[in-house]
Amino acid sequence: MRLDAPAFRLSLGGVGHFPPRGRARVLWAGARKSEAVVALKGQIDGLLADVGLRRERRRFTPHVTLARLGNVPQSKVGEWLVGRGLFRTPDFEVGELYLMHSRQHRAGADYETVCRVPLRRIGGEFDAERP
């Protein structure tokens, strides 16, 4: 099994929270849903199924997690979201993926990089570190 996907251009825009209804637990910045992002997600879903992991049942929402919220007043979350509603980035190249493992605990979370997967460079070149 091997992930074989090209690098792609991406932009971020807008902010929101999960879950979409009720008390906000995560703040995110939206990622533009492009054909390349959807194809990559499909390939990852296939690889996960190959090793016996079930597909995520929630609707696919490409995003970057900005913060996990503890006991933050929801009024503050609302103010933060309204103040950043026009957030946008220029396009940038996504050239590699990192599989991260997070361990949640009372003081926050620890993150560990499980693996790094270079993507094929835009223009057809392959990264020398590609597994």
**Residue-wise pLDDT tens digits, 35-75:** 999 999 998 888 888 888 888 888 888 999 999 888 899 99
- In the numeric block, the tokens 């003081």 are attached to 107
DSSP 8-state class, residue 123: T
**Residue-wise pLDDT tens digits, 10-23:** 999 999 999 988 89
**Has residue 112 been placed in a domain?**
no
**Has residue 125 been placed in a domain?**
no
> What's the domain range around 65?
8-93
Return the pLDDT at 130.
Answer: 35
Evaluate if pTM is beyond 0.85.
no
- Whether the CB-CB separation of 2 and 131 falls below 8 Å is answered with yes
- Whether the CB-CB separation of 29 and 64 falls below 8 Å is answered with yes
**Residue-wise pLDDT tens digits, 105-131:** 887 788 899 888 899 876 544 443 433
- Whether the CB-CB separation of 95 and 119 falls below 8 Å is answered with yes
**Has residue 51 been placed in a domain?**
yes
Number of structural domains (the chain) is: 1
d(CA 13, CA 84): 10
Q: What CATH number has the domain bearing residue 85?
A: 3.90.1140.10
**Has residue 26 been placed in a domain?**
yes
